[in-house]
Structure 1
């Protein structure tokens, strides 16, 4: 695997997907990207999201063995996820369960949907 991207809504339910993406980046020694799409066009919304991820950067780098590149985009979530996956030419898109999986068509890479924590215990 050359690279991977995590698309996240930054909720606590997305934490298992974040941890899985970090573990895969470590396992494959590959660059990884975290994408958060803000549908609110105000600059403050994007700044809050970036700040949230920046505060977690040390932990993310420790989990993955390298820091992720963080992308905060504005607009339609599906459009932005598709555009970023194509632009970055990632090999794998990691998502949390119940998110965009059913809406992404013609994705240019493989997709891994990670169950929420309470569902993961039953698996």
Structure 2
């Protein structure tokens, strides 16, 4: 990881993203690029005033990150829609990682689809880290969610290509279907029958997961297998809390056309409700090899 782009709107949420990006830059000896987007669909005098005020704030932040934190840091101001400006600059700057703050949770509802955060993640062609938790130190334990799809393979490869696995423990969770169990009335099954069935399904899932990792050419890693006795995102979040992971890594499931416009439902739910950081990994770009 050589360059980290962090988006800021000067809010407390953005401060969280800058702090996390700072910790990552220290860990990886990476350069930081701060970006702020100004809506240019307003009177030019307002645009100019916002540009000057933003430049002053960014210059002060950049100076502090250089002098106090000892980081290589610069800033850019772009104009237009936030999600377009941020993702375009990430491409132009060839950033390895894009860091954003948590999405703004509104009173009485928790809407994620349509937010700037969701649109950035949906349109980005490089990993996006949503810094949900207050940064207290470098990451210690990451949890990669896998459904044995190509997209979850991309997430696993990103852990290695970004160098994350060199600096923290990484575990893998696979939530497997237990279709036959729920197709029948559980009342018709004894506890022993339920246990035997789940044991068989877990053994099958473990074999599939091992084959999946071998196909990717990845070394074995700590694995957690859980039956889908609740929505998958809830199972992943519960395990993340139980084993005290501070980062959840998941693929976005976007590809091309209509599919690219949508996030996978599990990814969306994790991003919407997560109480810890989430790294959303898009499909590998054309010509990009595996780690």
Short-chain TM bin: 0.7 to 0.9
Q: Residues of 1 paired with 2:133 and 2:36: CA distance?
A: 18
* Greater relative CO (CA pairs within 8 A, separation 6+): 1
Task: Answer whether contact 2:62 2:74 (CA < 8 A) is retained.
Answer: no
Alpha-carbon shift at residue 116 of structure 1 (Å): 5.8
Deviations along 1:8-55, whole A, 9 cap, x unmatched? 111123211111111111111111100000114521211101101212
Aligned partners of 1:84, 1:8: CA distance in 2, in Å? 13
2:119 is aligned to 103
TM-score, normalization: structure 1? 0.85
Cα distance between partner residues in 1 of 2:87 and 2:50: 21
Extract unaligned runs of 5+ from structure 1. Answer: none
Match of 1:69 in 2: 74
Q: CA deviation at 1:59?
A: 2.4
Aligned equivalent of 1:58, options 59, 63, 78: 63
Indicate the residue corresponding to 2:38 in structure 1.
38
* TM-score, structure 2 as length reference: 0.38
The higher radius of gyration belongs to: 2
1:48-103 Cα distance to aligned partner (Å, 9 max, x none) = 0110121233322223x224110011111111111101101111000000063311
2:95 pairs with 1:90: yes
Deviation at 1:108, TM superposition (A): 2.0
* Mapped partners of 1:49, 1:97: distance in 2: 21
Query: Is contact 1:14–1:116 with CA below 8 Å preserved after alignment?
Result: no
8 Å CA contact 1:6, 1:33 repeated in 2: yes
Aligned residues: CA RMSD: 2.0
Provide the secondary structure at the position in 2 that maps to 1:73: strand
Equivalent position SS for 2:129: strand
CA distance in 2, matches of 1:76, 1:85: 14
Secondary structure at the counterpart of residue 99 of structure 2 = strand
Q: Distance in 2 between matches of 1:56 and 1:7?
A: 13
Q: Which runs of 5+ in 2 are unaligned?
A: 105-115, 135-245, 247-274, 277-291
1:23 maps to 2:28:
no
